[in-house]
Amino acid sequence: TYNTEINSWKIVLHGLNWLLFGRGPATSPYPHAVAFIRSAPSEPRPDIQVQLGPYAFSFSEEGVIPYDRPAISAAINVSHPRSRGSIRLRSADPDAPPVISHALLDDDDMERLIAGCRQVREILNGPAFAPYRIGERLPGPDVQSGDEWRDYLRRTAFLGYHPVGTCKMGTDALAVTRPDLTVRGVDGLRVADASVMPSLTSGNTNATAMMIGERAADFIQNGGGG
């Protein structure tokens, strides 16, 4: 796996291989396989995204530390969180960073994340991975109960960096933007990024954001809206 390829001198070689020839590990993102699953059979759509990567790392006060031996890892994401955060202006200074509260407080999000982790553990412990599996390092086989999973995830989970909805599009009273991406109550202003999405998609937001930009270009070119 890539864990044996990211020491100091090999990183330089892989970087040059990418820069000069467009080949090698440096051309690849973390996930080499992605799956969408349901945390429970009753879920109407897949609500868990699983990304499988050919390397693994641990977390410490010093930061992210790659393992010094071959390993793989799986990142489990809740695709449709019920938690709702907020973003507010810090001051009248346009250069001041906003005040962002993710407010990841919904207990249901935690339970679905645990369900996704358990499913992935079952898959990785299955016969298909048996020829390659030595053991589980994180969280480790001792983590079994719901309380043990909650403790582990509260210490190690982090954001997927796919926020949406702060300028949601719609026709209801809480919508900031109209379906043509114009801002309600402001002439000549559009928003054309992931903030207009009323809710998260099941997968990453990149393709949706590109589509929103294309639609904004169509609206402007055709003279629609504000």
pLDDT tens for each residue of 103-156: 999 999 999 999 999 999 999 999 999 999 999 999 999 999 999 999 999 998
* Predicted local distance difference test score (pLDDT) of residue 59: 74
Task: Report pLDDT for 217.
Answer: 95
Phi, psi values for residue 17, rounded to 5°: -60, -40
Task: Give me the pLDDT at residue 225, please.
Answer: 55
If you average pLDDT over every residue of the chain, what do you get? 92
pLDDT score for 158: 87
| 38/47 Cα distance (integer angstroms) | 5
Instruction: Name the stretches of the chain with pLDDT < 50.
Output: none
- The pLDDT > 70 percentage for the chain reads 98
- Token look-up 């346009």 returns 94
Q: 205 and 164 in contact (C-beta within 8 Å)? A: yes
Q: Answer for the pair 47, 79: CB distance below 8 angstroms, yes or no.
A: yes
| Predicted pLDDT of residue 123 | 96
* Interacting residues of 125 by C-beta distance below 8 A, sequence separation 6+: 133, 136
32 is catalytic: no
- Given this model, what pLDDT does residue 61 score? 74
Cβ atoms of 15 and 5 within 8 Å: the answer is: no
